[in-house]
Structure 1
Amino acid sequence: MSRFFDFIENNFVSISSFDKIQWMDIVEILLIAVFVYQFMLWIRNTRAYSLLKGILIVVLFIFIAYFLQMNTILWLVYNAGGYAITAVLIIFQPELRKALEELGHKKIVSSIIPFDSSKNENEGRYSDRTVNEIVRATFEMAEVKTGALIVIEEETVLNEFIRTGIALDSLISSQLLINIFEHNTPLHDGAVIVRGDRIIAATCYLPLSDNLSLNKNLGTRHRAGVGISEVSDSLTIIVSEETGRVSVARNGKLQVGLTKEELKDVLVEEQNKNNQEKQKHKSKLKLWKGLVKNEKKHD
C-alpha cells in the first residue's frame, strides 16, 4: 500500500504539467476511458455494483485521510489493504469470470486475425425449415401453456452445457420439440440445445442470471434463458408455463411477448447475420493465408 500512496503523491504533483503530454498519453487516456465505460456497463446490473459504490466511498475516505495526515487510519489501511483486495477477488470471483468471458465474446482478436473454426462449415447454420419448425413448436406449446427453453447455438460452442444434459443429436422437428417439453416426460425439465438443424441435447442445465434489472416476477426458466445469453452469443426462446407468453433472450437482454411473425423475424435476422459473418470470416481467412504464403515465399 506504500506504493499506492507514493503513486498518489507523485502523480498528483505532476498532473498539472500538461505541456509534457504526448500523443501516447492521449491514447492511454482514451483506452482507460473505454475500459472504465465498458466496466460500468457490465457492473451496473450486478450485485458487485453495490460493492463498487462502497469501495469508492472508502477510497475517497483514504484520500481525505492522506491529505489530512490521519496517520492511525493510514496505518490501518496500509496493513489491511492487501487482505481486503484478496477478499474482494475471492467473493466476486463469479462476476470477474463473467467479465472475462464477455471480453472474450467481443471478438477483438478474431476480427484482426481470423482463426479456423472448430465447427464444420455448415454445422452451425440452420435452414428455413428449422426456423419454421421452431416457430410452429413454440406457439403450439404457448397455446397450451407448456413451458419450454430452446437454446440456439451460434459462434460460441456450448459443449460445457451440453454435457449436463442427455445427448440426442436428432433432426429438429416441431413434433419432437413438443414431445420433449410435454409434462411428465423424462426430458421436459431443463433446456434443449440446438446446433444447426439438429437437437444436440435435452434437459441441459443453464446458468441463472443475477441481473438486478430483470422483472422480479420472472421465474427460473427466464433467468436461465438470460443467463446463457450473458455467457455466450446464443439465442434462447422461452415459453412461459404460467402465461404462455413467448420471450427471446440474447446478449443478456430479454424480449417479452413476441408474436409468431416477430419470432420468425428474429430467427431469420440471426440466420442472415450468421451467414454474412461466416462469409466475412472466410474472406479474411483466405486473405490471411495468402499473406502468410507470400511471407514464406519471400523467406
Structure 2
Amino acid sequence: MQMIEQFTDLAPVSVVFRLLDVFLVWYVIYKVLTLIKGTKAVQLLKGLFVIVLAKIATNIFGLDTLDWLLQEVIDWGFLAIIIIFQPEIRRALEQLGRGKLLFQRTISQQDEEQTRLVEAMKKSVSYMAKRRIGALISIERETGLNEYIETGIKMNADISSELLINIFIPNTPLHDGAVIVQKDKVTAAACYLPLSESAFISKELGTRHRAALGLSEVTDAITVVVSEETGAISITANGNLHRNLSITEFEGMLRKMWFGPEQDSNLASKWTWGGKKNG
C-alpha cells in the first residue's frame, strides 16, 4: 500500500522515466537471452538457477557449511563466467558496436539474406553433386554446436558457394570432415560429428551419412550430405534422413527447414519426414 502511495505521489514525468527504466532493463535482458540462445551459456543459466535455489534452501534449513560453500561459488562465479564465456561476451560487444544488438534488420533485408544463403548452398551442392565431390555441411539451429566446432578448424567466414566448393575439393587440407554453419557464417571446417549407432541404417550408407544422422539424433541441426560414390543429395534433421533429392527438392526442403515453413508454405503439403512425396 505504501508503495502505491509513493508511486501516485510522483510527478507524471517521473512516472514516465521510471516506466522507461523498467522497459530498458527488460529489453536488455531480452536481448541477452536472444544472444545466448543455442549456446552453452543457456546451460550456465540453468546451473545458476539451481545454485540460487540451493542457497535459499540452505538459509531456510540452517545448513551453515553448505551455505558458506555456495556463497563462495556465487562470489567467485562472476569472474569465472567472464573467463569461460569470453568469446560470447566479445561477440556481444562487437554486435553492440555495429548496432546489431539494438536494431534488427527489416523483413525485406532478412528475406534477401535468406535467399542469398539458400542460393549459395544450392549452387555449391549442385556443383559437387554433378562432379561426385563428397560433402558434409551442418547448419546450427536452436541447439548449440560449439563442442563440435572445437574439433575442427575455425574459419568464421561469410557463406559463399565458392568457399564451400573449395573446402570439399579432394586432397585439400579441409575437405575431410564437416563444415558447420552458424547463422550466415561458415564457422568451422574439418569438424568431427558423432556417428549414429542405429541398427536400422542401410548398409549402403557411408560414414558421411552416419555422421549426419548421428548429429541429428543429439541436436536439431540440419545436415546436408553429398555422396562421393553416387553424387546423391541428402538432408538429415530430427533423426530422419531424406535421400536422393533433386536440386529443386533440396532447395525447397532446405529453405523450409532452415528458415521455417512460412518461407515456403507451398511445400507444407508436398513433403513428409520420410523424404517422399505424398500421394
* TM-score, normalised relative to structure 2: 0.54
Q: Which residue of 1 aligns with 2:247?
A: 260
Cα distance in structure 1, aligned partners of 2:261 and 2:160: 21
For residues 272 and 249 of structure 1, the distance between their equivalents in structure 2, rounded to whole angstroms, comes to 15
Cα distance between partner residues in 2 of 1:135 and 1:274: 18
Selected match of 1:116 from 12, 29, 33: 33
8 Å contact 2:232–2:244 — kept in the other structure?
A: yes
Q: Return 234-243 or 260-269, whichever deviates more.
A: 260-269
In the alignment, structure 1 residue 243 sits paired with structure 2 residue 230: yes
For the residues of structure 1 that align with 2:119 and 2:256, how far apart are their CA atoms?
Answer: 14
Flag structure 1 segments of 5+ consecutive residues without an equivalent.
1-114, 277-299
Q: Distance in 2 between matches of 1:249 and 1:272?
A: 15
- Shift, 1:272, TM fit: 3.5
Asked if 1:169 is matched to 2:156, the reply is yes
Please report how far the alpha carbon of residue 214 of structure 1 lies from its aligned counterpart in structure 2 after TM superposition: 1.0
Structure 2 unmatched runs, 5+ = 1-31, 38-91, 93-100, 264-279
1:170–1:200 Cα contact (<8 Å) kept: yes
Number of residue pairs the alignment of both structures matches: 161
TM-superposition CA deviations, 1:167-208 (whole Å, max 9, x none):
000000001000000011000000000111110000000000
2: distance between equivalents of 1:227 and 1:247? 14
Deviations 1:217-254 (A, max 9, x none): 11111000000011100000000000000000111111
Q: Secondary structure at the match of 1:151?
A: strand
* Aligned partner of 2:195 among 201, 208, 228: 208
CA distance 1:153–1:170, shift in 2 (3 Å)? same
Cα deviation, 1:40-95, whole Å, max 9, x if unaligned, reads xxxxxxxxxxxxxxxxxxxxxxxxxxxxxxxxxxxxxxxxxxxxxxxxxxxxxxxx
Is 1:127–1:196's contact at 8 Å kept on the other side of the alignment?
no
What does residue 156 of structure 1 align with? Answer: 143
State the 1:271 CA deviation: 3.5
Query: After superposition, where does 1:16-55 map in structure 2 within 5 Å?
Result: none
Q: Which has the higher contact order (CA 8 A, sep 6+)?
A: 1
In 2, the alpha carbon distance for the partners of 1:271 and 1:241 equals: 24
Alignment partners' CA distance in 1, 2:258 and 2:242: 18
Indicate the percent of aligned positions where both proteins have the same amino acid.
48
CA distance in structure 2 between the partners assigned to 1:267 and 1:144 by the alignment: 21
1:267 deviation in Å? 1.7
After superposition, the CA RMSD in angstroms is 2.2
Aligned partner of 2:119 in structure 1 is 132
Q: Secondary structure at the match of 2:137?
A: strand
2:185 to 185, 198, 205: 198
Mapped partners of 1:131, 1:210: distance in 2:
30
1:141 matched to 2:58? The reply is no
CA distance in 2 between partners of 1:169 and 1:244 (Å): 27
Q: Which amino acid aligns with 2:143?
A: T
TM-score with structure 1 setting the length: 0.51
Residue identity opposite 1:259 in structure 2: S
Offset of 1:275 from its aligned partner? 8.0
Larger-Rg structure:
1
**Residues 120-165 of structure 1, C-alpha deviations (whole Å, 9 max, x = no match):** 7779x86210100001100100100000000011010100000000
